[in-house]
Amino acid sequence: MAMAMYVTMAMYVTMAMYVTMAMYVTMAICVTLVMYVAMAMYVAMAMCVAMAMYVAMAVYVTMAMYVTMAMYVAMAMYVAMAMCVAMAMCFALVMYVAMAMCVALVMYVAMAM
pLDDT, tens only, 50-92: 899 999 999 899 999 998 999 998 888 888 888 888 888 888 8
1 DSSP 8-state letter: -
Position 90 scores a pLDDT of: 86
Question: Is 80 exceeded by the pLDDT of residue 1?
Answer: no
C-alpha span between 64 and 86 (Å, rounded): 32
The pLDDT score that the predictor gives to residue 79 is: 87
Using a cut of 0.85, tell me whether the model's pTM lies above it: no
What's the average model confidence in pLDDT over 25-32? 89
**What integer is the mean pLDDT of 25-33?**
89
pLDDT given for residue 13 in this prediction? 87
pLDDT (0 to 100) of residue 9: 87
CA distances from 77 to 15, 60, 67, 70, 101 (A): 91, 25, 15, 10, 36
